Amino acid sequence: AYTQVSKSFMDDNLKLQGSLRYDKNENFEGQLSPRISAVGTVSGNHNFRGSFQRGFRIPTTQDQFIDLDVVTRRLVGSNSLLVNRYNFSPQNTYTTESVQRARATGNTADFELESRVDDEFKTEKVNTFEVGYKGLFMDGRLLIDAYYYYSRYSDFIAEIDFTQAIPNGLTGAKVNDSDAVRQQIIDGSVRTQRFGFDINADGNVESQGWALQVDYTLNGGYFIGGNVAFNELISQADLLAQGFRAAYNTPKYRYNLKVG
């Protein structure tokens, strides 16, 4: 469901707009995503804009249902069907780092349980603030467009890495003697499987970015121009400290040059 309202003031030199959208997926709670924006025009050729919007990301079908061996580990979706299939629980899954450390020291006390496999898997939310400017100079030959944004995510979706004795954490009597299972993992008498699994990160995750575009019209219908953009995951270090792969899939700087 979606609704939008807009209103102009000051001879169309100030435009306000607001919208509200509702989405529902059968595996997750309903989501509201509001947006408000304002655009002001000065001297006909100079436009200033600002906006706030709240968005969300429903985990993809791959995030929920993948079950794929990628050699280094097995990627498993964060859905109750697969969690039950592999018997993931805070009692039989260990952080991969702690398993490697225990094997190196031979000390079962070095194992750390990965309790987050039991957390509810939620949609990712983001609140974004943006300000921008677009204007014409030199009798309309020169166009400048620029913006800055700041985003704050909650329930940020990221991947954790853990290890489990197989099959399925050694269900039954063996799993009740966890120290014995840990010793068997250390001495190699039971096999283990390493998994990649998506969960929601704790706290807020912040990002920011800006971009600048410049176009210049030459005589004879030709033009030259270019743009540069910067994007940064401010909370990258915090996510790594929690043991996540952030998957923030963009370089810090991108640029284009053009002639047409």
More confident residue, 246 or 204: 204
Q: In this structure, what are the phi and psi dihedrals at residue 68, rounded to the nearest 5 degrees?
A: -135, 130
Which 3 state secondary structure label does DSSP give 234?
coil
The larger pLDDT score, comparing residue 244 to residue 155, is at 155
For residue 61, the model assigns a pLDDT of 92
CA distance 54 to 33: 5
| Gap between the Cα atoms of 9 and 54, Å rounded | 25
d(CA 98, CA 87): 20
Mean pLDDT to the nearest integer, 153-179? 76
Query: In which residue are the tokens 């929920």 written?
Result: 64
Q: Taking CA 136 as the corner, what is the angle to CA 130 and CA 137, rounded to the nearest 5 degrees?
A: 130
pTM of the predicted model, to two decimals?
Answer: 0.79
Tell which residue, 154, 145, 146, 147, has the closest CA to residue 130.
147
Q: Over the stretch 207-242, which tens digit does the pLDDT of each residue have?
A: 999 999 999 999 998 999 999 999 999 998 888 888
Q: Which residue has the higher pLDDT, 92 or 47?
A: 47
Choose between 177 and 201: higher pLDDT: 201
Distances (CA, A) of 16 to 4, 9, 39, 174, 237: 11, 8, 7, 65, 38
